[in-house]
Chains A and B, each alone.
Chain A
Amino acid sequence: MLFTSEYSMKMGIGEALLTAVIGIATVLMILAIIALLIMLVSKIIRSIEAKTAKLADTGAPASPTAAPPAAVPLPDTESQGELVLENVDEPTAAVIMAIVSNKSGIPLNRLCFKSIKLLEDDKK
């Protein structure tokens, strides 16, 4: 408690301004710290998950006795596996996958895209 009851009756404009400035600075500072920590934690978690996925990918052929993946059908709008995008944005990749599925007549959930890569840059 910084402002006691005897103080509570009056507060000068200078003190009010100072309180307001410190207040908004505190909110900004705390939320900025949270933002930074989210970025940091996300980065750590994603790198751990990527490593785990990589290990799982390389480990799979080495264990022929491993059980086959569960036969849970994917939704029609989703393809199988992890897709790596190189210089291609997600909407463009989605359009490409939809076109391939449409032209080949194979449902998207039965297709497995490994990567989509932009080979030529328009600027060149």
Chain B
Amino acid sequence: MEMIKNVLVGLWEASGINALFAGGVFQWRNLVMILVACVLLYFAIAKKCEPLLLVPIAFGILLANLPGAGLMDDPTGLMDTSNVVAGAHWYETGVLRLIYAGVKSSVFPCLIFLGVGAMTDFGPLLSNPVSLLLGAAAQLGIYVAFIIAILMGFTPQEAASIAIIGGADGPTAIFVASKLAAELLGPIAIAAYSYMALIPFIQPPIMKLLTTEKERKVEMKQLRKVSKTEKIVFPVVVLLICAFILPSVAPLLGMLMLGNLFRECGVVERLSDTAQNALMNIVTIMLGLTVGATANGQNFLQIKTLMIVALGLLAFCFSTAGGVLLGKLLYVITKGKVNPLIGAAGVSAVPMAARVAQTEGRKYNPTNFLLMHAMGPNVAGVIGSAVAAGFLLAMFK
């Protein structure tokens, strides 16, 4: 009888329900985060909002907030020294915490960039190199958000990590945040990916506000055909320039350009295919899952998180505005040959931002086809946000 009682008590003590009341305090935050995870899963599955990312992220949130499961435990202080247990071994570390090493060491963001490079056609950018300026101008939000974050009392490292959300590039945001403010990684990554999914709702009002109907109707000249040699030389040239000026950008841009070289050189089809598909999918699962797992209720549900979400939105809006405003300037300089709407695509987020420019352009001129013109600034935005990240790392790391 005593043994049965001990077993039942042991079961109760090991249960998640008991862990929910650990230390006599009701851990309501974990329950709220489980609810948030379910809402995100609903949006990902039922509404198809960025499901490839949102499903693993939401499930990561769910797993990390299961009371007593310890999937993100770090008893040896491998990455988090706040809960070190004496005599613990590394293999007692939670399984998600072990995978999280790929985020912490920046391996996953770099591998994602390898896949992105292999999937990206820089042709539209090469046929219209001025697009690069639009990609640069669309990083404006990063610096506006940085100033406002400093005014709100964040440290420069935190402000830089939050501001990079304006680059609209998930891996870049994770790369910077994991190096400068790892404790904010969860909210930053979730804000960055959420806003990328919301681009079709965030950008159009800003584009409409800053442009005239005449500007939105502009039809652009057909792009010239880019030769294979140009496409092969491009990744090497870009990497050399950027890495010589800002070496801190080399991990991200290096992988991006390696992936692109795989794609364009035409002699490593298998590597290109692996980078675009198998590797990309594996890393997306691991990255999404562990980024979601950083959103533990105890440290996620804070006023700071709301501030980060608000600053991220602000950064996105200013980045869109920066691109559109430079687009307007180019419209004036070229005497109406550039449609300013393509400037909004400079915020990275390939290819969603380019699609938004195309959709908005066709609303005002149904015969207009801006997609390929918008892809130029769009892929330039990837380079621009990586360079901006390199600058912030060089300043604050």
Which of A28-36, A69-77, A97-105, A116-124 faces chain B?
A: A28-36
> In the complex the two chains form, is B237's CB within 8 Å of A30's CB?
no
> In the complex the two chains form, is A30's CB within 8 Å of B241's CB?
yes
Determine which of A20, A26, A34 lies in contact with B132 in the assembled complex, contact meaning CB atoms within 8 Å: A34
Q: How large is the interface on A (under 10, 10 to 19, 20 to 34, 35 or more residues)?
A: 35 or more
> In the complex the two chains form, is B126's CB within 8 Å of A30's CB?
no
Q: How many residues of B contact A (CB 8 A)?
A: 47
Shortest Cβ gap from B383 to chain A (Å): 7
Shortest Cβ gap from B235 to chain A (Å): 11
Given that A26-B391, A33-B241, A41-B233 are known contacts, is A13 also in contact with B246, CB under 8 Å in the complex? no
Closest A-chain residue to B126, C-beta based? A38
A55, CB-defined interface residue at 8 Å: no
A45, CB-defined interface residue at 8 Å: yes
Determine which of B140, B142, B155, B394 lies in contact with A2 in the assembled complex, contact meaning CB atoms within 8 Å: B394
Complex: how many Å from CA A91 to CA B139? 34
Residues of chain B with a CB closer than 8 A to A31's CB: 132-133, 135-136, 380, 383-384, 387
Give residues 1-56 of A contacting B (CB, 8 Å): 1-3, 7-11, 13, 16-17, 19-21, 23-24, 26-28, 30-39, 41-42, 45-46, 49
> In the complex the two chains form, is B391's CB within 8 Å of A27's CB?
yes
Interface centre among B129, B392, B395 (most CB of A within 10 A): B129
Given that A20-B147, A31-B135, A32-B133 are known contacts, is A1 also in contact with B380, CB under 8 Å in the complex? no
Determine which of A2, A35, A46, A91 lies in contact with B395 in the assembled complex, contact meaning CB atoms within 8 Å: A2
Complex: how many Å from CA A19 to CA B125? 28
Complex: how many Å from CA A16 to CA B139? 16
Shortest Cβ gap from B224 to chain A (Å): 9
B242, CB-defined interface residue at 8 Å: yes
Closest A-chain residue to B234, C-beta based? A38
Residues of chain B with a CB closer than 8 A to A10's CB: 155
Shortest Cβ gap from A52 to chain B (Å): 10
Closest B-chain residue to A48, C-beta based? B229
Complex: how many Å from CA A62 to CA B77? 76
**Could you list which residues of chain B lie within 8 angstroms of chain A, going by C-beta atoms?**
125-126, 129-130, 132-133, 135-137, 139-140, 142-144, 146-147, 150-151, 155-157, 159, 221-222, 226-227, 229-230, 233-234, 237-238, 241-242, 245-246, 380, 383-384, 387-388, 391-392, 394-397
* A-B contact sample (16 more), CB < 8 A, given A1-B396, A9-B155, A46-B230: A10-B155, A11-B159, A13-B150, A16-B146, A17-B147, A23-B143, A24-B136, A24-B142, A26-B387, A27-B391, A28-B136, A28-B137, A30-B242, A31-B387, A34-B129, A41-B237
